[in-house]
């Protein structure tokens, strides 16, 4: 989501005549788009901003701004850590960034010294984002379909930084996807904090299908768009109608990232996640049943307050039972202003670390096993870019979201091919074009 927001801000700046440079060392303005989900992300951003502000003398250094969730979360308090910071822009004010940058550049002497823009503008036009930069020529694109989150997971800062749910209309999203397809984009990833709850309480169900399913069906009909993905869904809105889409919607890719957070009902309750371990396992099983090629990934938090060894064992066994092929495993991080901060029995750092390691090695084992099963098989890939390493190597993704490295020409980026897999690591497949 941050990548998508950054693209949008960059586009708005370009519209105003600014130029995006490839190296921050030659930039006149550096804007950091930030995340608040874990403390580590905030510390990293503060460290980076501090470095930029100190790296050159006061008159020649770039204008430095912090945008996004940390800006929204901390506001002017950021000056305690970064007294020379020029600009603080919250999540509701991205669209005004060019105006703020203009006035910082035009400042006479020291006036205006700093700009802090973090008030809410809920429901304003600022949410509508369908002006993608036509100069970006990736074969894939992110499309934000909603903003905000109405859930109240007790660990999570997002409802505070991103506000209440606001939905775009189906027509506006479909229109954006159609424009993208016309520009040659083959794959879209629909984005939302709770993406499958899109339209709840605001748009109607039709033939018992949720607005999200209606949206998927409409996007599927767009000519030239080969693949649809979405992230991140929530188990509470993963009904039969959505599960069935993996049978009925050809462009919907057989890959689901479905955050589980914990496999213990007691911890899920403390997290204020309104589903049970059983319900989660049932969704995962049905998804694998509907399409045997399905690949599943998840988010897990280890060391949530009061998580006992027994609770952790339940997470571990659910992780094995679903047989996740990919996962993001997080150590619980206290976020000021969230309910969990005041819960009892916080878990010591070493225990979190140890549980993290246990799940990471389980993940490595499971993903290697799954990738090894692909050796000798054929997959359709969409070629996304040059591979990070290796001359003449390109990187594409299978529908089930596995990276495949193969030998090819740069002009193949954006095309789709069948490849045969010859070897594998836990994270990557290697193959040949056939």
Residue ranges in contact with ligand 5AD by CB under 6 A:
37-38, 155-156, 259, 261, 299, 301, 330, 332-333, 335
Distance, CA of 82 to CA of 61 (rounded, Å):
14
Of the candidates 246, 318, 257, 326, the one whose C-alpha atom is nearest the C-alpha of residue 287 is 246
Q: Phi and psi dihedrals of 212, rounded to 5?
A: -65, -45
**Which one, 335 or 402, has the nearer CB to ligand 5AD?**
335
Give whole-number Cα distances, 13 to 5, 67, 137, 240, in Å: 12, 14, 18, 43
Q: How far is the CB of 366 from ligand 5AD (least distance, A)?
A: 18
CB 205 within 8 A of CB 237: no
Indicate the residue among 35 and 177 with the shorter CB distance to ligand 5AD.
35
Beta partners for 429?
A: 404, 424
Q: How far is the CB of 299 from ligand 5AD (least distance, A)?
A: 3
Nearest to ligand 5AD of 157, 180 (CB atom): 157
Q: Please, are residues 153 and 271 in contact by the beta-carbon 8 Å criterion?
A: yes
Q: Work out how close the CB of 40 gets to ligand 5AD at its nearest, in angstroms, rounded to a whole number.
A: 9
Least distance in Å: CB of 156 to ligand 5AD? 5
211 CB-near residues (< 8 Å, 6+ apart): 167, 170, 198, 199, 200, 202, 203, 204, 205
Smallest gap, in angstroms, from Cβ of residue 61 to ligand 5AD? 33
Q: What is the H or E stretch that residue 89 is in?
A: strand 87-89
User: Among all chains, which residue has been given the structure tokens 């901060």?
Assistant: 341
Structure token pair of residue 95:
């669209």
Name the minimum Å distance from CB 290 to ligand 5AD: 24
Say how far residue 375 (Cα) sits from the centre of its chain: 29
The residue (of 322 and 429) whose beta carbon lies closer to ligand 5AD is 322
* Residue placing its CB nearer to ligand 5AD in the complex, 63 or 300: 300
Q: How far is the CB of 357 from ligand 5AD (least distance, A)?
A: 16
Specify the residue, 9 or 329, whose C-beta has the smaller distance to ligand 5AD.
Answer: 329
Q: In the complex with ligand 5AD, which residue's Cβ is closer, 68 or 259?
A: 259
**Are 222 and 185 within 8 A, CB to CB?**
no
């Amino acid at each position: 989501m941050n990548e998508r927001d950054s693209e949008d801000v960059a586009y708005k700046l370009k519209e105003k005549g600014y130029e995006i440079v490839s190296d921050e060392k030659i930039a006149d303005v550096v804007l950091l788009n930030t995340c608040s989900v874990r403390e580590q992300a905030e510390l990293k951003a503060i460290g980076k901003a501090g470095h930029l502000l100190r790296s050159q003398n006061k008159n020649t250094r770039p204008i430095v701004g912090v945008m996004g969730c940390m800006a929204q979360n901390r506001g002017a308090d950021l000056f305690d850590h970064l007294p020379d910071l020029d600009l603080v822009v919250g999540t509701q004010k991205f669209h005004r960034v060019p105006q703020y940058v203009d006035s910082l550049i035009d400042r006479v002497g020291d006036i205006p010294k700093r700009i802090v823009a973090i008030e809410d503008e809920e429901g304003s036009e600022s949410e509508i984002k369908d002006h993608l930069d036509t100069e970006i020529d990736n074969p894939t694109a992110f499309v934000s379909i909603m903003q905000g989150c109405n859930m109240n997971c007790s660990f999570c800062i997002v409802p505070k930084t991103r506000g209440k749910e606001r939905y775009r209309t189906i027509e506006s999203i479909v229109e954006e996807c159609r424009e993208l397809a016309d520009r040659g984009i083959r794959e879209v990833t629909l984005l939302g904090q709770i993406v499958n709850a899109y339209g709840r309480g605001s748009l109607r169900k039709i033939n018992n299908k949720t607005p999200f399913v209606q949206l998927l069906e409409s996007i599927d009909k767009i000519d030239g768009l080969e693949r649809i993905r979405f992230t991140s869904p929530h188990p509470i809105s993963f009904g039969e109608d959505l599960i069935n889409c993996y049978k009925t919607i050809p462009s919907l890719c057989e890959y689901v990232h479905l955050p589980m957070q914990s496999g213990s009902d007691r911890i899920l309750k403390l997290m204020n996640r309104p589903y049970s371990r059983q319900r989660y396992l049932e969704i995962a099983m049905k998804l694998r049943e509907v399409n045997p090629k399905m690949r599943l990934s998840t988010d897990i938090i280890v060391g949530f307050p009061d998580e006992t060894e027994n609770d952790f064992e339940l997470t571990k066994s659910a992780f094995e039972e679903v047989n996740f092929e990919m996962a993001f495993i997080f150590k619980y991080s206290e976020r000021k202003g969230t309910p969990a901060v005041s819960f009892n029995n916080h878990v010591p750092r070493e225990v979190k670390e140890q549980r993290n390691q246990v799940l990471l090695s389980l993940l490595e084992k499971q993903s290697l096993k799954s990738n090894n099963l692909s050796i000798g098989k054929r997959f359709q890939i969409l070629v996304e870019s040059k591979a990070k390493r290796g001359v003449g190597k390109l990187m594409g993704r299978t529908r089930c979201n596995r990276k495949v490295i193969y030998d090819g020409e740069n002009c193949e980026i954006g095309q789709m091919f069948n490849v045969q897999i010859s070897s594998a690591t836990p994270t990557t497949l290697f193959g040949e074009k056939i």
